């Protein structure tokens, strides 16, 4: 019998470098750096200290990559049983021994925290450490397999980079950046729960409680809507701190209301198209928030008044 024609994927040799890059979760690492950039710029609308910002982004990326590797290591057994993750490098045994990944992850995380503390200040290093601790220990090791609160509490891992950005910029956590960190914290549940609605059967198969109620999809859909709606008052909270020019505040409010509008049908009925729409919008939403913050400083400098 003739062999089937080789596809591009089957003829391409496996790449060890590509596998190690996947272990660093480059998408999440990029998002972490984006949030840190937002925190840095909100804390100091003055001319940017590019050196400090560069050190922040490099050390934050290193720590995020390390935490991601530790997450891969701790979740390798569950990943092997899920359709979405069983082709990852560790469950597919393309990288062995897996313990080397844990060592490398600890090295990257430690280097990120250590160099941020040394080259910037201890509060920046501490902020990065809190993010890594939350993601690796609190979320992955302690809560992910035990509690439906896992993504809520674990959401602080995404907020910590904003605090690190503020600490790197001015040596303190400013009120405006704390409010921004609250928004990122509240963004995580609707972002992840929208994905979990799409993958609920896969998660249920391996016993991961990734929805507010794994046995009540209708309730979980309503919680997604409520959690998306909380982004609107979170935006107003940032405005109350006086760090946003009014056009930026209006834009952020519009982005939040659109998030609610896109997920609102989940209140009546949970459908895959609506859940997918909410998940697909959630990533660009946060990116748009940070891009708006980038544009905020020039508006303040030319005299636009703060929104509230």
Residue positions counted in the chain:
308
Nearest to 184 by CA among 167, 203, 166, 162: 162
Contact in structure between 270 and 218 (CB atoms under 8 Å): yes
Highest mean pLDDT among 38-52, 75-89, 161-175, 196-210: 161-175
Residue 14 has a pLDDT of: 54
Given a cut of 70, is residue 9 above it in pLDDT?
A: no
- Specify the fold of 20-171: Tetracycline Repressor; domain 2 (1.10.357)
pTM: 0.92
Contact in structure between 132 and 63 (CB atoms under 8 Å): yes
Given a cut of 50, is residue 261 above it in pLDDT?
A: yes
Contact in structure between 63 and 164 (CB atoms under 8 Å): no
Instruction: Spell out the domain ranges in the chain.
Output: 20-171, 174-308
Whole-number Å distance between alpha carbons of 147 and 150: 6
Q: ∠ CA(240), CA(44), CA(26), 5° rounding? A: 100
Q: Tokens 């992840």 identify what position?
A: 192
Average pLDDT over residues 22-42: 94
Whole-number Å distance between alpha carbons of 176 and 239: 8
Whole-number Å distance between alpha carbons of 212 and 225: 12
Q: For 162-214, what is each residue's pLDDT tens digit?
A: 999 999 999 999 999 999 999 999 999 999 999 999 999 889 888 899 999 98
From residue 287, alpha-carbon distances to 49, 128, 290 in Å are 22, 20, 5
């Amino acid at each position: 019998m003739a062999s089937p024609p080789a596809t591009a994927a089957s003829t391409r040799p496996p790449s060890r470098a590509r596998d190690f890059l996947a272990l660093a979760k480059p998408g999440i690492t990029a998002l972490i750096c984006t949030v840190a950039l937002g925190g840095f710029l909100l804390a100091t609308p003055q001319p940017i200290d590019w050196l400090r910002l560069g050190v922040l982004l490099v050390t934050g990326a290193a720590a995020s990559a390390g935490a991601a590797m530790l997450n891969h290591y701790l979740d390798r057994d569950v990943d092997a049983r899920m359709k979405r993750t069983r082709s990852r490098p560790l469950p597919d045994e393309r990288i062995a021994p897996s313990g080397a990944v844990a060592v490398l992850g600890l090295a990257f995380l430690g280097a990120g925290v250590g160099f941020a503390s040394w080259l910037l200040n201890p509060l920046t290093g501490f902020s990065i450490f809190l993010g890594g601790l939350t993601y690796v220990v609190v979320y992955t090791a302690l809560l992910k397999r035990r509690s439906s609160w896992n993504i809520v509490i674990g959401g602080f891992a995404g907020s910590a980079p904003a605090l690190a950005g503020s600490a790197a910029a001015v040596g303190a956590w400013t009120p405006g950046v704390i409010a921004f960190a609250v928004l990122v914290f509240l963004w995580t549940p609707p972002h992840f729960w929208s994905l979990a609605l799409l993958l609920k059967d896969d998660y249920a198969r391996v016993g991961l409680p990734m929805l507010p109620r794994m046995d009540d999809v209708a309730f979980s859909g309503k919680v997604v809507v409520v959690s998306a709606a909380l982004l609107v008052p979170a935006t107003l909270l940032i405005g109350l701190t006086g760090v946003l020019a009014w056009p930026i505040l209006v834009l952020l409010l519009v982005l939040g209301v659109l998030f609610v509008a896109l997920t609102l049908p989940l209140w009546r009925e949970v459908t895959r198209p609506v859940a997918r729409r909410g998940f697909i919008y959630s990533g660009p939403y946060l990116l748009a928030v940070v891009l708006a913050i980038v544009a905020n400083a020039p508006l303040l400098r030319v005299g636009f008044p703060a929104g509230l």
